Amino acid sequence: MQTVLVGDFFQLPPVVRRDVEAAMLPLAGGDDTFGAEFAHAASAWRDLAPIICYLSEQHRQSDRPFLDVLAAIRANACTGIHRDLLAARRIGKERLPEGCTRLFTHNAAVDEINQQQLERLGGKTHVFTMAAKGAEPFVQALKRGCLSPESLQLKPGAAVMFTKNDQAGRYVNGTLGVVEDFDPDEGYPIVATRGGKRILAEPSTWKIDEAGNERASITQIPLRLAWAITVHKSQGMSLDAAVVDLSLAFAFGQGYVALSRLRSLAGLHLLGLNERALRVHPEAVEKDAEFRAASAVARETLIGDAVSLAAKQTAFLETRNESPTSGATREPRQPRAPHPKAYEVASLRETHAKAYAPWTTVEENDLVLRHQQGESVDAIAARLGRKPGAIRSRLKKLALI
């Protein structure tokens, strides 16, 4: 089995309780996997000895000064010029911008703000309770990783955030909106997003599978109150603007995670900042240098011996045709349609920079947003560097046309 592992050790680690950890050891194979602070310290990582490919291209941010600040924090080298840029984004509590999500380091501050804002709204409170099934340790693990609360209280006018990616492409994890109404038949909330869409937020399921068998699952409306959220829960989000308070930052990487949620420095409204907020884990910095070096070696090895690489690819495809159980040879695969030749791709990319390139999540989100805002296919194609036919094909795949 080929496996691709993707991650960022500058992000915050999961919060794991030792009693739950011990109960999950049978699933982990009984080794020290759950005792490792970083994945690369686990025995599974050592046994795997993965080839490292360091991804350096930024998609969320294109603001160079802001990228410099984030890079400085990642290196534990946030100097005067970087601190000055952050200081310029400081605001007072009396100047909070309207409609911005607020990020705090502690749950207590988040819960207090959300509850205060909810109580200020008139109308009836609608309560949605999470359903769960399966072994308790796995259920608890799912609950801790789920952004939606076990008991979700909503009213018309409540600021909310979607907590999961929608397979139909209507919303993604981090899509913000306001509860407009509740469906008269099912009672589910109807959310008006900032992009102008009206979405019926129906229950969604998170689950843990093992060898094709479901070990546990939880089901809840994929929403949470979003006047404020914790930095930990904001991981994976992309925000155009946010009010951020890092005055009580207590964990390595907390400041980096919060700041890197923003697409630009202009969207940052900083309430406070302490020294810990500008630090990431020293071990992450050290390991990052190792990953960069290992990636450079892997790149030179793969690119430097194209003949050997082609032979490995051929051998891999031949191995795929062998039965994993009996060693018998499968029926020969039908030949695929020829892939565009290199010179054809190069020629196309002179006018369409992303021709035949795989779609990234960021590009898809950009495509959806531009389509929702009414941009023409030709305009979107020009902006994303793709052919109009590729844009139409992707919109069809996302069930948007």
Give yes or no for a contact between 40 and 10, defined as CB atoms under 8 angstroms apart.
no
Per-residue pLDDT band for 381 (boundaries 50, 70, 90) equals confident
Whether residue 291 is predicted with pLDDT greater than 90 in this model: the reply is yes
> Is there a domain that residue 189 lies in?
yes
Q: Which of 108-122, 184-198, 224-238, 260-274 has the lowest mean pLDDT?
A: 224-238
List for the chain the helix, strand, coil content (%; round to 5): 40, 20, 40
pLDDT at residue 285 in the model:
93
- Written as six digits, the tokens of 226 are 């979003």
> Using one digit for the tens of pLDDT, what is the confidence trace for 109-125?
998 999 999 999 989 99
Rg (CA), the chain: 24
Give yes or no for a contact between 113 and 102, defined as CB atoms under 8 angstroms apart.
yes
Whether residue 335 is predicted with pLDDT greater than 70 in this model: the reply is no
In percent, the amount of the chain with pLDDT more than 90 equals 47
> Using one digit for the tens of pLDDT, what is the confidence trace for 172-195?
887 889 999 999 999 999 999 988
> Is there a domain that residue 230 lies in?
yes
Based on the fold, state whether residues 389 and 242 are members of the same structural domain: no
CB-side neighbour CA atoms (13 Å) of 39: 14
Rounded-to-10 torsion of CA 248, 253, 254, 257: 150
Three-class secondary structure assignment of 73-99: HHCCCCCHHHHHHHHCCECCHHHCCCC
> Is there a domain that residue 300 lies in?
no
Boundary residue ending a domain (240, 262, 278): 278
Distance of CA 91 to the CA centre of its chain: 28
Give yes or no for a contact between 238 and 265, defined as CB atoms under 8 angstroms apart.
no
Based on the fold, state whether residues 126 and 209 are members of the same structural domain: yes
Per-residue pLDDT band for 339 (boundaries 50, 70, 90) equals very low
Boundary residue ending a domain (255, 278, 301): 278
Q: Which of 88-97, 143-152, 224-233, 329-338 has the lowest mean pLDDT?
A: 329-338
Based on the fold, state whether residues 99 and 200 are members of the same structural domain: yes
Based on the fold, state whether residues 273 and 381 are members of the same structural domain: no
pLDDT at residue 347 in the model:
53
Distance CA 159, CA 227 (A): 6
Q: pTM (2 decimals)?
A: 0.62
pLDDT at residue 271 in the model:
95
Per-residue pLDDT band for 17 (boundaries 50, 70, 90) equals low
Based on the fold, state whether residues 120 and 210 are members of the same structural domain: yes
> Is there a domain that residue 184 lies in?
yes
Based on the fold, state whether residues 272 and 355 are members of the same structural domain: no
> Is there a domain that residue 196 lies in?
yes
Based on the fold, state whether residues 268 and 354 are members of the same structural domain: no
> Is there a domain that residue 81 lies in?
no
Based on the fold, state whether residues 95 and 188 are members of the same structural domain: yes
C-alpha triplet 231, 65, 260: angle, nearest 5°: 15
Per-residue pLDDT band for 356 (boundaries 50, 70, 90) equals low
Sequence-distant (6+) residues with CB within 8 A of 194 are: 175, 176, 177
- The total number of structural domains that make up the chain: 2
User: Edge-to-edge, what's the strand order for the sheet holding 223-225?
Assistant: 198-200, 189-193, 176-182, 159-162, 223-225
Beta bridge mates, 178? 159, 192
> Is there a domain that residue 324 lies in?
no
Whether residue 246 is predicted with pLDDT greater than 60 in this model: the reply is yes
Based on the fold, state whether residues 115 and 244 are members of the same structural domain: yes
> Is there a domain that residue 325 lies in?
no
Per-residue pLDDT band for 352 (boundaries 50, 70, 90) equals low
Distance CA 299, CA 297 (A): 5
Q: Tell me the pLDDT of the chain averaged across its residues.
A: 83
- Which segment, 16-25, 33-42, 307-316, is predicted with the most confidence on average? 307-316
| Boundaries of domain holding 353 | 339-401
Per-residue pLDDT band for 237 (boundaries 50, 70, 90) equals confident
Based on the fold, state whether residues 153 and 223 are members of the same structural domain: yes
Based on the fold, state whether residues 269 and 390 are members of the same structural domain: no
pLDDT at residue 382 in the model:
85
Boundary residue ending a domain (234, 249, 278): 278
Based on the fold, state whether residues 226 and 94 are members of the same structural domain: yes
